[in-house]
Chain A
Amino acid sequence: MDLGTVVPAVIGAAAALATSAGEKILSRYFDKSTKRELHRDEDLKVLERVTFEIRDLATAYWSAPVNVGSDDVVAGSIVGRLTFISALVDELFRDKLNLLREIHVAMNRFDVSCTDGEFGGKARVADPGRCRQIEITAYTLVHRANTLRRLL
């Protein structure tokens, strides 16, 4: 075998190996990236679903005066779900502090609209006017999360 044949063959083989290794690396990178994107999309769907569950519970809660038999259970369901989505947004945006701060603002506004005032009080009166604020802050939170997620 002369050198004129061997060198191009070696170069060809090396190029093929490098391409193959590069493809594997790229493939792994994109697989990982795709999986991460899918997980983020799933988290966003959960955030949206649970936010609207809270919205429904909170609007029902504030539509009527205190019900000693069931208020504690409903209040617990609202606070528990709020705590859950709060952890979810922290996980979702933890790598971007500026986005995390923005989503916290929307999250806190939603929380305050649901659980401030006489929330958890034994003398609570109905406050249907608050339902408007709950709706606004719920939709704002979901929209904000979707907008910020595109920046991740």
Chain B
Amino acid sequence: MAANINIAKDYTPYPGGRYPEDGKGNGTTFREDFLLPIIRKGERVDVILDGAAGYPSSFLDEAFAGLVRKHGFTPDQVLSAFRFIATQPGFSRFVSLIENFVRTATPSGEQKRPH
């Protein structure tokens, strides 16, 4: 099993969209292909955020908070399974964004709108 997941190299440099029908780089496919196998095995990996051309909130929410909403993991399980690496200028805030999405997600809950 890979010791880390580099989103830009292993998945796409242009993440975007929530669902498979939204196209290549969507959050659901990333969650199911990369994150689920790790968390189901109880492993822990680094997720490298650097290198992508930014992350829309919809992608981050679907990929990471989707583990709570769609698969029933607790926020603590999700956040302890993945360590986020963001050294590129401007990318460290994505870590707090992901943590916030995961912590506010509820099982079977709808995605939250900001307003």
Residue numbers in B under 8 Å from A117 (CB-CB): 58, 111, 113-114
| Any B CB within 8 A of the CB of A122 | yes
Q: Bound complex: CA of A91 vs CA of B91, how far in Å?
A: 12
| Any B CB within 8 A of the CB of A50 | no
B89 to A79, Cβ gap below 8 A?
no
| Any B CB within 8 A of the CB of A140 | no
| Any B CB within 8 A of the CB of A142 | no
| Any B CB within 8 A of the CB of A133 | yes
| Any B CB within 8 A of the CB of A51 | no
B114 to A121, Cβ gap below 8 A?
no
A132 to B91, Cβ gap below 8 A?
no
Residue numbers in A under 8 Å from B90 (CB-CB): 83-90
B96 to A104, Cβ gap below 8 A?
yes
| Any A CB within 8 A of the CB of B40 | no
1/0 per residue, CB under 8 A from B, across A48-88: the answer is 00000000000000000000000010011011101111111
What is the size, in residues, of chain B's interface with A at 8 Å between Cβ atoms?
31
Residue numbers in B under 8 Å from A130 (CB-CB): 113-115
Given the interface pairs A90-B92, A108-B93, the reply to whether A79 lies near B55 with Cβ below 8 Å is: yes
| Any A CB within 8 A of the CB of B21 | yes
Interface stretch, picked from B2-10, B12-20, B68-76, is B12-20
A115 to B58, Cβ gap below 8 A?
yes
Residue numbers in B under 8 Å from A82 (CB-CB): 54
Residue numbers in A under 8 Å from B17 (CB-CB): 120-122
> Can you pick out 14 interface pairs between chain A and chain B where the beta carbons lie within 8 Å of each other?
A75-B56, A79-B53, A82-B54, A85-B90, A86-B90, A86-B93, A88-B90, A91-B89, A108-B93, A114-B57, A116-B58, A116-B61, A120-B58, A122-B17
In addition to A116-B57, A120-B18, A121-B19, 8 A-B residue pairs with Cβ atoms within 8 Å of each other are A72-B23, A76-B16, A85-B90, A87-B89, A90-B89, A109-B114, A116-B111, A120-B17
